[in-house]
Structure 1
């Protein structure tokens, strides 16, 4: 399909919050028929810029033009009327779960035509099916949205935008919660929109995705536009340097640590078909990476090791002692803690303060006679905020308002004071920007130097290669291969993770 003349242009956009400049004379433009990446570390201003474009915020100054016409966007309704739509990571806030796929796609449609009072359901079903076919999907249009997968819900949002003749669609971290296969299908939908002349803005922390999918890249830093370049003109190190404002030659900082005695032994641990007789060990000062494709059993294994699920067989030995883990409390008491994949559901209390989250596991230290010594608790929280570089207005801010990277620092910070010996990290960089990733890797390095044992579970192969001393590859609930030294390559990991060869368990 031929490209259209659609062009969306934001010029000299300014925005301040309580006297702090979030955006400083920012220019940004996206053309119809392109996928344009908008990148930046936490606090760079990209989210603020997109909230202005989508009507959630009002700019203090500047103009927005679409197809040469100046827009006055004062609300999300104004943005949608102009043809600007958003597909967010948290799709449930934009959909009505109790309604059908068809009803959600055509939600803003007036029932009937020409004053008719009756809804022509069969006509609407056919229209919704046609829209889904146009973007390459088949979802039962009579199915309730609450029964769909996350990726299918995203497609419903995209279909709604198409039904309203969208001219620009903002994709804000849409792939963060998706599997590799689901992300690939989403990219195909984005490419179909591009071929139809839609201007697509793509925000993602996964830089390889950006290089594979986008036509142009804009980088922001400290509320300013840094540069806009065509994808073929740049490489990932150029993007990282522009985002951080400095060279980033060592993405995964390794530290010199002495590997000591065995801290954790896992012997024949199993539960159903997801974890089938897993054996491995972790030593003091060592990072053991466990890598596998989605569904390999990594998260299920981490939950067993933390006592969140109960083993059906096997043994866990910590510091030479066999331990019975019936609940997470048992693991914490034994000296093993988990930074879970779903941090908002399992790692933090989103409505509680940073202080409460940081001190929750050690609250007894600040309690006497049934009363909490608030001053000591507050001082501890402030110390951890400084120590970990948590960006928050103060310790009383609700954790749910922090960025993904800072939420993750809170999850890690709450465990540091427990003096655990073994730290389990399950997809710790999911949904965090490149700067926060480096902070997490640096923190892991500090734990290693302190003699802790680290189990790092991820499907991000580059992270596993960059941070691990040894790599264990999981496939279908089993450890199928241990890789060390020169064996640790992306090709080997993919080979064994996809079941390309059969092996004795190591």
Structure 2
């Protein structure tokens, strides 16, 4: 299938989101679509798949002018969209999620369960996915849910598949498998639109790249004809001198110490500490227990045994409220379901953890609250027309900045960042890294969980590597390499 989008415009109220975008997709190509958060990438794809209608411009499919009235019609027309925010029904089984709206039935209307299971197993086998079909989807990890979404799209026999940050929650092995699937589909003539902020992936898997900035097309090139620095410059409109800002840590006293944290089936004998002004990076494969330990520290999950010390004082934390009172902030990896209240405004989300400080006598001082929120919006360069904008209307990167703002606002002693730049563009990543430096310069201790090895290596002062619920290795910044981290992550020495 060949797609041509010419001079596409789209307005939402007074906000011009797209102002003349050109995009071409050729049969069997893997085409990267890149740009900062808010550049209009998702809006363009939502127009192609019928979720939004364009105000101006022309869409041609195989040379004929055409537009879809809904995502379902686009899917029936051979275009599938795997969104960054997963469309999983948590209370339904994996099998039910795979066939929702496309159930196989016999002449009497009864489900052909056996046939559906065979088709699902066949697709999972191609993807090397090992997930029980009877399992509730909500009990699957984020990475497993991502693979379910990919399998669901592939089962529609789509001629075009749009993948929005498809590897954000996948392990290295799952990413490798996905790339094999993409290459196989490309050989069969299936076209892939690949939206990602992971530059290494773009140069590994894509044939061409289109860069967008501020709702316009900046350039389209073959991957072989460009490079990392050129792409970044076109995305942000300026030179980005260093990917990671220089760190000059001066660690102080130990702020938080974990001793022998254990929860059966999740992690065992976890012991580590973090000091004032230090960034401790946590690496390891998905399912190794990284996030589970952070949730236990924050009081979201219980432990079977273990001790927690804050400034050498033994502390027991049963709930997140207790953790916040003790000076711990936690930016979760799942901003959509756990980090934000999407129907609340930016102001309400940012002010929520600090609301008591604005209401000493029970009534909120709206002026102080607004000044506090405006200061954080400005400091984190959150792109919005108003603090009253609903969080659900922000791009993924700006949503992440709102989550950061709300936890920075409480002034924590320890800030836990779980996948802090997932789905965030290269310019916004640099801003977050600079903010982390600023916070540690003020004495804050940061624990950063990340699946991106360049990020772990670029920002950590020490690195702890998890393997199957245990700490398999510890590396200083000087010792650390990707090879050493992956060796420990795989259980080697």
1:62 matched to 2:53:
no
User: Which structure has the greater CA radius of gyration?
Assistant: 1
Aligned mate of 1:455, from 447, 451, 468: 447
**Which consecutive segments of 4 or more residues in structure 1 shift more than 6 A?**
93-96, 116-120, 137-142
Cα distance change, pair 55–134 in 1 and its aligned pair in 2 (3 A): farther
Cα distance change, pair 73–477 in 1 and its aligned pair in 2 (3 A): closer
TM-score by length of 2: 0.89
Q: Distance in 1 between matches of 2:470 and 2:94?
A: 40
Displacement of 1:392 in angstroms is: 2.4
Cα distance change, pair 196–315 in 1 and its aligned pair in 2 (3 A): same
User: How many residues align structurally?
Assistant: 489
Q: Distance in 2 between matches of 1:427 and 1:275?
A: 19
Partner of residue 19, structure 2: 24
What whole-Å deviation, never above 9, does each CA across 1:26-63 have from its counterpart, x for those lacking one? 21111111111111111211111111111112222221
1:217 matched to 2:244:
no
Q: Distance in 1 between matches of 2:132 and 2:301?
A: 36
Partner of residue 307, structure 2: 315
Q: Distance in 1 between matches of 2:188 and 2:169?
A: 26
SS of the residue aligned with 1:456?
A: strand
What whole-Å deviation, never above 9, does each CA across 1:393-444 have from its counterpart, x for those lacking one? 3222222222222222222222223222111111111222222212211111
Conserved in 2, the CA contact under 8 Å of 1:101 and 1:140? Answer: no
TM-score by length of 1: 0.87
Conserved in 1, the CA contact under 8 Å of 2:87 and 2:149? Answer: no
1:286 matched to 2:281:
no
Alignment of 1:213-362 (within 5 A): 213-362=205-354
Moved more, 474-483 or 487-496: 474-483
Q: Cα RMSD (Å) of the superposition?
A: 3.1
Q: Distance in 2 between matches of 1:392 and 1:81?
A: 35
Moved more, 73-82 or 90-99: 90-99
Displacement of 1:156 in angstroms is: 4.2
Displacement of 1:159 in angstroms is: 3.4
Displacement of 1:143 in angstroms is: 5.4
Q: Distance in 1 between matches of 2:195 and 2:172?
A: 17
1:132 matched to 2:135:
no
Q: Distance in 1 between matches of 2:348 and 2:239?
A: 37
Conserved in 2, the CA contact under 8 Å of 1:102 and 1:124? Answer: no
Cα distance change, pair 359–277 in 1 and its aligned pair in 2 (3 A): same
Partner of residue 8, structure 1: 3
SS of the residue aligned with 2:87?
A: helix
Moved more, 433-442 or 230-239: 230-239
SS of the residue aligned with 2:218?
A: strand
Partner of residue 465, structure 1: 457
Aligned mate of 1:92, from 79, 87, 92: 87
Partner of residue 386, structure 1: 378
Cα distance change, pair 9–265 in 1 and its aligned pair in 2 (3 A): same
Q: Which runs of 5+ in 2 are unaligned?
A: none
Q: Distance in 2 between matches of 1:330 and 1:96?
A: 30
Q: Which runs of 5+ in 1 are unaligned?
A: 1-5, 502-506
SS of the residue aligned with 2:314?
A: strand
Cα distance change, pair 125–317 in 1 and its aligned pair in 2 (3 A): closer
